[in-house]
Amino acid sequence: MTKQKLLIVDDEAPLREMLSDYLLMHGFDVRSVADGAGMHTELDRFGPDLVILDVNLVGESGYDLAREIAKQSRAGILMLTAVGDLPHRLEGLAAGADDYMAKPFEPRELLARVRSVIRRLGEEERTPENRIRFGGCILDMDGRTMVDPDGADVQLTSMEFDLLCVFARHPRQILSRDQLCRLAHNRDLEPGDRSIDIRITRLRKKFESEPDTPTVLVTVRGEGYVYEPAYDEARRR
């Protein structure tokens, strides 16, 4: 069986060595580099399935490197950072990351995240573009249906379906309530109208593993909502 290839990009030599040894022990083909120049070389020569990328490299931005990976390679991206709050995580996801992990971390959790991202990327290659994953459920945009992990129908109203389609077409993009109302329902949101919030609360109960702490449709305080497909997949598994 072909080993999956991992490329570690981090300027901390002890961390690179520890991660390399740990991931090699768990059956991966691993290479590591300290900077963007080494990363570009290995992207061409090694062809990794997943890049484990530090955000704060000396003199370089991991966010910029993530954008370059997306242009140069089909590899997945797992970003590592000392700052794990929502704005930084959203910036990483917007740059093309498939998951985001704060330092310090437990190696076993990193291993689980690595396996999850690789598994999800494999599933995406087999999933038609009109079939979008929300948590454990699949939305069929052509058939106007949603099914749960067991294949059972998830009941959606027409307005709930239209709202999900908007999120599906704008992954990792913060959308205000006004934008959501115009895009989903072709009308402006009236002052005091909380219908978008109510629909999102109902939708979360249908596919979020923990609706009170959502990871798929995330609230961005003072701005709106964002659909985070990659982060949810890693958390869900």
**Range name among 27-31, 67-71, 157-161, 206-210 with the lowest pLDDT average:** 67-71
What pLDDT score was predicted for residue 230? 55
Residue at which a domain ends, from 126, 142, 168: 126
Residue 38, H or E segment: helix 36-45
pLDDT band at 231 (very low <50, low <70, confident <90, very high): very low
Looking at the fold, whether 80 and 140 belong to one and the same domain comes out as: no
Residue 236, pLDDT above cutoff 50: no
Q: Quote the CA–CA distance of 97 and 92 in Å, as a whole number.
A: 6
Count of structural domains within the chain: 2
- Overall average pLDDT of the 21-42 stretch: 95
Residue 84 contacts residue 100 (beta carbons within 8 Å): yes
Residue at which a domain ends, from 77, 106, 126: 126
What pLDDT score was predicted for residue 84? 62
What pLDDT score was predicted for residue 233? 40
Q: Quote the CA–CA distance of 134 and 215 in Å, as a whole number.
A: 10
Q: Quote the CA–CA distance of 21 and 229 in Å, as a whole number.
A: 30
Looking at the fold, whether 120 and 16 belong to one and the same domain comes out as: yes
**Predicted TM-score of the model (pTM):** 0.56
> Taking all residues of the chain, what is their mean pLDDT, rounded to a whole number?
87
Looking at the fold, whether 120 and 13 belong to one and the same domain comes out as: yes
What pLDDT score was predicted for residue 163? 95
Looking at the fold, whether 138 and 76 belong to one and the same domain comes out as: no
Residue at which a domain ends, from 126, 144, 163: 126
- Overall average pLDDT of the 44-53 stretch: 93
- Overall average pLDDT of the 17-46 stretch: 94
Looking at the fold, whether 140 and 190 belong to one and the same domain comes out as: yes
Contacts of 196 (CB under 8 A, 6+ apart): 163, 177, 180, 181, 189
Looking at the fold, whether 208 and 169 belong to one and the same domain comes out as: yes
What pLDDT score was predicted for residue 129? 66
Tell me the C-alpha to C-alpha distance, in Å, between residue 26 and each of 51, 79, 210, 220.
16, 20, 30, 37
| Containing structural domain, residue 31 | 5-126
Residue 208, pLDDT above cutoff 70: yes
Looking at the fold, whether 54 and 163 belong to one and the same domain comes out as: no
Q: Quote the CA–CA distance of 45 and 131 in Å, as a whole number.
A: 33
Residue 53 belongs to domain with CATH number: 3.40.50.2300
Q: Quote the CA–CA distance of 109 and 96 in Å, as a whole number.
A: 21
